[in-house]
Amino acid sequence: MAFVAAVATAFGVSAAVPARLRVQRAAAASEASFDVVEKTITELQDAMAARTVSSRQLVAAYLARIAAYDQEGPRLNAMVTLNPRALDAAKALDDERASGRVRGPLHGIPVVVKDNYDTRDLPTTGGSIALTGFSPERDAFQVRKLRDAGAVIIGKTNLHELARGITTISSISGQTRNPYDPSRNPGGSSGGTGAAVAASFAAAGLGSDTCGSIRIPAANNNLFGLRGTMGLSSRQGIIPLSHTQDVGGPLARTSVDLAVVLDATVGLDADDPVTRDGEGHRAASYRDALTPEALAGARLGAVRNLFGSAPEDTEGGDVVRKAIDAMRDRGATIVDVAIAGLETALQGSSVINTEFKFDLLDYLARYPQAPVHSLGEILKRGDYHAALEAGFKQSNAIDSRDSAAHRIALHKRAAVRELITAALEEQRVDALVYPVLSRKAALIGEPVRGMNNCQVSASTGFPALSVPAGFTADGVPIGMELLGPPWTESRLLSIAYAFERAVQPRRAPATTPALVNGKRPPPLRSAAAIEEVRATFTFDPVTGRLSYDVSATSARAGAVSVAIHRAAKDHNGPVILSVLNGSASTGDVVLQPIDREALARGDLYLGVRSMKGESRAQLQFRPE
């Protein structure tokens, strides 16, 4: 990787050790002791103000978590590059604080940035090995604004290669995993940022959204993610996918954190003329505009035909419906809305395929030193992940910027805008609400099926906020989307803030728990003895793997059955794992999130059944 030498210098370690391992060892050996898991920006800022922790110590603490969980443990693979100067940058900000200067709520706060944002001191690859080592001369607009606000760029995150997809796989780093279930994808294309923020690798992060690339990772990682009104903030310095649909913005664990980052990154930029449209519309402060009573009197339109109609859509749809009911219970008026013709208008309204080739060409033309200068060159060199081949070739086959396909897409996009505008006005609603995706995150390697509602905001240019709605029975996050008229970000955020305060939908992923002495927590053990049965269990809280060794000393084969049950409130709970049907058995299994939570609560018990009847023993897990 391009950052090998820089990281070695920053942490004072041998260049002979692989780069990722060097970073892990250095971070684990750092002075970090402050627990950053799930800490909000306000909490971190208060701790620094009280001298409980320094910015440098925060950086070290986040680096230790990256070391423990990015390439080890659940192997999230969220990070592409770590900033070798992050500790020094944090120390400089600590010195500023000591001198009496605090720039604002982001002073000294570590954040991550999607690797399609230009950074003057770190490579910008877009997830493509074709851009290995590519380093633009200046920061992207939003990155510069973050630095000016005092944020520390701790590193850059993986993305679906060149942002062309929604599962986050790239030729530079491979597949990123979902921290709630590492067998599933984290969404995309900003999936590296989504996974990193969910796993507390940083306080918040930046992503980009052309058709769901902020909102889908937010939904899949139990986060808040905003696609603002086109023109709210600049796209300057973001590798483009589609100039008429691209938007950059924040992902965060709370609505307040998102508002803090939004305050720092919006604004007029002469290098992106569309930002002129935002003049007079941007809030003085999105954070200060948050109101906890926003649900009282709010009027929301639940768009029936964006929930999906297949049986497989019920699971995710029910989570969103329950969240909508919770908003009704807090004072919101919910209107049932069906927008006739919307699905037909949405089909073919995306201009990604027809603009990508030419927008990438224009971006690379500004950098003579870039390793490649066109999508065609990337294809010719074979410098792309196999999963991107069909889409890249399809875009490269477009001959003209003004193609018939492009004109048809623009026409359909105008039709979508008319339909959505009419629905908002006729129903007199503050926002439309519907699932971000109608189904939970797909397993890695499987296609994303069901309703993907990303194009509603992308085609209209209207703001859309992904809000954590809740979890499926097996512990996978589901997100709901709030879409409002142009420049209503403050209203959307306030509605989300009121919902968040009432329901508290955020839950940390079990695969990335708090570190113990700078390392992953040790395995837990439990032992049980019931009549002739002896059993020992070892549970790894990071991977969720449960190993067992069970024996029945005097049982005939098949005469004794031993199983782990999940306790229920008013009756014996169901079997989650049969561990013995004979005289002896060993094995291991990865527990589902719902069963990991039951284990943590002490709600698992061992049941022994034989001709004599049933006996049971509660399983209490303790560190080895």
Catalytic residue annotation: 114, 189, 213
Whether 326 and 503 have beta carbons less than 8 Å apart is answered as: yes
- 623, 524 in Cβ contact below 8 A? yes
If you search the block for the tokens 């919770």, which residue do you land on?
Answer: 326
| Phi, psi of 420, deg, nearest 5 | -70, -40
Please name which of 369, 365, 357, 374 lies closest in space to residue 133, comparing C-alpha atoms: 369
Rounded distance between C-alpha atoms, residue 158 and residue 597, angstroms: 29
Q: What is the C-alpha separation between 555 and 561, in angstroms, rounded?
A: 10
Strand, helix or coil for residue 265: helix
174 forms bridges with which residues in the sheet?
A: 170
Q: What distances in angstroms separate CA 524 from CA 95, 359, 595, one per listed residue?
A: 42, 52, 15
DSSP assignment letter at 538: E
Query: CB count, 10 Å around CB of 386?
Result: 9
With vertex at residue 570, the alpha carbon angle to CA 566 and CA 576, rounded to the nearest 5 degrees, is: 15
What is the Cα–Cα distance from 607 to 617, expressed in whole angstroms?
Answer: 7
Contact 467, 496 (CB under 8 A): yes
Tokens for 21, please give them.
């391992």
Chain centroid offset of residue 384 CA: 23
Gap between the Cα atoms of 153 and 137, Å rounded = 16
**Cα 84 to Cα 466: distance, rounded to the nearest angstrom:** 32
Instruction: Return d(Cα 226, Cα 247) in angstroms, integer.
Output: 10
Separation CA 376–CA 172 (nearest Å): 18
**Cβ atoms of 310 and 435 closer than 8 Å:** no
Residue 623 CB neighbours (<10 A): 10
User: What is the distance between the alpha carbons of residues 206 and 112, in angstroms, rounded to a whole number?
Assistant: 7
DSSP, residue by residue, 132-184? TT---SS--HHHHHHHHTT-EEEEEE--SGGG--SS-EETTTEE--BTTBTTB
93 token code pair: 């900000």
- Give the DSSP letter of residue 614: E
